[in-house]
């Protein structure tokens, strides 16, 4: 493989023997932990960034802004680092130390938001978005 993006989605399908209540029914598990960043969220993050590039919305020197402290944010961080993009994530103040350290290792700038849920979290994203409307790619904004 020559690219982190080429690894996305190439996850094995494994038969889960002995768990089906019906002997004629086979149950399979998709092993998404083999994606880069060990999550199914790598699929969505990779597709969003690649589409942004294809549409010319993400170019060399772009800054990407989103609100996520979960697996999607970590996937954005890995892919943005691989592509050389700057990433800013609005994350809650109570983000756990492990996620914070991982995001920082990828070079993410964390914008710390309120602890009071998604509405406030999204508000912070919208406020920071105003600085980026002309030059950068904003992944998700809900008005």
In three-state secondary structure terms, 9 is coil
What pLDDT score does 136 carry?
Answer: 47
What pLDDT score does 44 carry?
Answer: 86
User: Would you state the structure tokens that stand for residue 24, as one six-digit string?
Assistant: 């004629």
71-83 and 41-54 helices cross at what angle (nearest 10)?
40
Residue with tokens 């019906």: 22
Task: Tell me which residue of 50, 52, 40, 104 sits closest to 77, measured CA to CA.
Answer: 104
Alpha-carbon gap, residue 93 to 142, rounded angstroms: 21
Per-residue pLDDT of the chain (143 residues; tens, 9 = 90+): 467 777 777 788 889 888 888 889 998 888 888 777 777 788 888 888 888 889 888 888 888 888 887 888 999 999 999 889 999 888 888 889 999 999 999 999 998 876 655 555 565 566 655 554 444 455 544 33
What pLDDT score does 143 carry?
Answer: 31
What pLDDT score does 37 carry?
Answer: 77
CA atoms within 13 A on the CB side of 129: 16
Residue 29 backbone phi and psi in degrees, to 5: -120, 135
Alpha-carbon gap, residue 109 to 118, rounded angstroms: 19
User: Would you state the structure tokens that stand for residue 38, as one six-digit string?
Assistant: 């060990």
- Strand ranges, E, within 72-133: 86-92, 109-113
């Amino acid at each position: 493989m020559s690219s982190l993006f080429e690894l996305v989605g190439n996850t094995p399908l494994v038969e889960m023997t002995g768990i089906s209540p019906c002997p004629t029914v086979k149950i399979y598990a998709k092993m998404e932990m083999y994606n880069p960043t060990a999550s199914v969220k790598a699929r969505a993050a990779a597709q969003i960034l690649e589409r942004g590039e294809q549409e010319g919305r993400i170019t060399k020197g772009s800054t990407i802004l989103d609100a996520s402290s979960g697996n999607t944010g970590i996937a954005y961080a890995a892919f943005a680092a691989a592509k050389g993009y700057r990433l800013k994530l609005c994350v809650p103040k109570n983000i756990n130390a492990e996620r914070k350290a991982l995001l920082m290792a990828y070079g993410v700038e964390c914008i710390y938001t309120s602890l009071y849920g998604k509405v406030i979290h999204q508000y912070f994203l919208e406020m920071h978005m105003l600085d980026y409307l002309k030059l950068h790619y904003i992944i998700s904004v809900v008005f």
